[in-house]
């Protein structure tokens, strides 16, 4: 008998009909002799609605109260699925994150899971129940409800699978696996049968929202067998996230193209070129809990230099206000910002053994007249910052350039 954790995303539980379909699939797995724990998201669009509602009262919602509100979306779907299972004659019980208990730290709206108590779940499974758990939420040591960041029910699913030492964690979504790039942008994108953890981590961190990055980190750390599948198809193996690259196969150089629209760039011009400026600028940004992504410091001349970095678009205004203050302290000339940028990245472990990938990428973009604003590389990825208007074109061109259409 296997123990399987199945996570269903928002579109898969968007209405009662779809919830009934999920119930049928879960019932089928249980009837095959498996123990099943189901983790659910809120109905699609629901979390956005709850956030908008909060913002009608408080423009900058208090994070603790926002978590109180956002966590309700998942509470609806778990109750409905438990009922749908009962209607099929399957014993089922739903639990909130707090009831399980999924213990997190107290970083409201982006809490981290510290531990999971599997006692209740085990007992229910032994008694023949399907256990249905609310994704995206936990509880801190003081009993406050917390949430795990947008897309966080992926992480709930994988963390539960790790805690239960499940045989497999299946992420059911509206695509039948991980593709070479978002199929909504490039219809020619191809489904991958397997992708390595390393590549999936890069893809997720660079904007491929098919899996929340923390879920991939968790799966890698606790060796959870992780698979992405469609909740709308009965056939298909989906995409398996694997620990190692397949040594028997000729690895493609590039496995996928990721992109992120959610970026903004800030530049401080005419900064006195002396030790400590990067610390003074980024220290102030870090103190405000703003994550910085790419960083560029230009070669100085005439005793001054320019310093640029990117942040999440939602934190653009806050970061700009901080830089305006720091500018005065440093005696810099000017702060300029641009929140109409995007980041496009090519990812592949095959890059390690193939030089020339970067130049191939830059040439392809140049041929289309696309100007590159910033570049950053690691062993297995190359990212460029571009004007937002080039996003779709750049993704399509790179997808073709690296032979991913075939």
Q: Which residues bind Mg ion (CB under 5 A)?
A: 9, 151
137 or 308: CB nearest ligand ADP = 137
Residue window 34-73: x/- pattern of binding to ligand ADP, with contact defined by CB under 6 A: -------x--------------------------------
12 lies in the binding site for ligand ASP (CB under 6 A): no
18 or 313: CB nearest ligand ADP = 18
Among 64, 112, 190, 209, binds ligand ADP (CB under 6 A): 209
168 or 174: CB nearest ligand ADP = 174
Residue window 134-173: x/- pattern of binding to ligand ASP, with contact defined by CB under 6 A: -xx-------------xxxxx-------------------
Say which residue the tokens 């089928």 belong to: 28
Number of residues counted as binding ligand ASP (CB under 6 A) = 13
281 or 391: CB nearest ligand ADP = 391
CB of 85 to ligand ADP, least distance (A): 20
47 lies in the binding site for ligand ASP (CB under 6 A): yes
Note the residues at the interface with ligand ASP (CB under 6 A).
9-10, 41-42, 47, 73, 135-136, 150-154
For binding to ligand ADP (CB under 6 A), which residues are involved? Answer: 9-12, 41, 151, 173-175, 178-179, 181-182, 184, 208-210, 256
């Amino acid at each position: 008998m296997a123990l399987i954790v199945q996570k269903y995303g928002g579109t898969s539980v968007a209405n009662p009909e779809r919830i009934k379909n999920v119930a049928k699939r879960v019932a089928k797995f249980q009837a095959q002799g498996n123990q099943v724990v189901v983790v659910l998201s809120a109905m699609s669009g629901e979390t956005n609605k709850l956030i908008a509602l909060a913002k009608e009262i408080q423009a900058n919602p208090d994070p603790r109260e926002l978590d109180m509100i956002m966590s309700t979306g998942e509470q609806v779907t778990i109750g409905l699925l438990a009922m749908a299972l009962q209607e099929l004659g399957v014993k089922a019980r739903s639990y909130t994150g707090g009831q399980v208990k999924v213990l997190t730290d107290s970083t409201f709206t982006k809490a981290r899971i510290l531990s999971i108590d599997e006692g209740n779940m085990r007992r229910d499974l032994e008694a023949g129940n399907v256990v249905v758990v609310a994704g995206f939420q936990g509880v801190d040591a003081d009993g406050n409800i917390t949430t795990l960041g947008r897309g966080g029910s992926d992480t709930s699913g994988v963390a539960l699978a790790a805690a239960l030492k499940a045989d497999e964690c299946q992420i059911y979504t509206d695509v039948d696996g991980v593709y070479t790039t978002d199929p909504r942008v490039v219809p020619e994108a191809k489904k991958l049968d397997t992708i390595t953890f390393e590549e999936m981590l890069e893809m997720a961190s660079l904007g491929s929202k098919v899996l929340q990055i923390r879920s991939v980190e968790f799966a890698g750390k606790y060796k959870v067998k992780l698979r992405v599948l469609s909740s709308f198809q009965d056939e298909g193996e989906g995409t398996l996230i694997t620990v190692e690259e397949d040594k028997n196969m000729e690895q493609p150089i590039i496995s996928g193209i990721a992109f992120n629209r959610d970026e903004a760039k800030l530049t401080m011009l005419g900064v006195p070129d002396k030790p400590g400026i990067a610390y003074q600028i980024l220290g102030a940004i870090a103190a405000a809990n703003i994550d910085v992504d790419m960083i560029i410091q230009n070669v100085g001349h005439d005793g001054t230099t320019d310093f640029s970095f990117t942040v999440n678009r939602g934190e653009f205004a806050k970061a700009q206000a901080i830089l305006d203050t720091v500018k005065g302290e440093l005696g810099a000339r000017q702060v300029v910002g641009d929140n109409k940028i995007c980041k496009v990245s090519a990812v592949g472990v095959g890059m390690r053994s193939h030089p020339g990938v970067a130049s191939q990428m830059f040439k392809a973009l140049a041929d289309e007249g696309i100007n590159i604003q910033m570049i950053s590389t690691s062993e297995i990825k190359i990212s460029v910052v571009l004007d937002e208007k080039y996003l779709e074109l750049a993704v399509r061109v790179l997808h073709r350039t690296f032979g991913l259409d075939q």
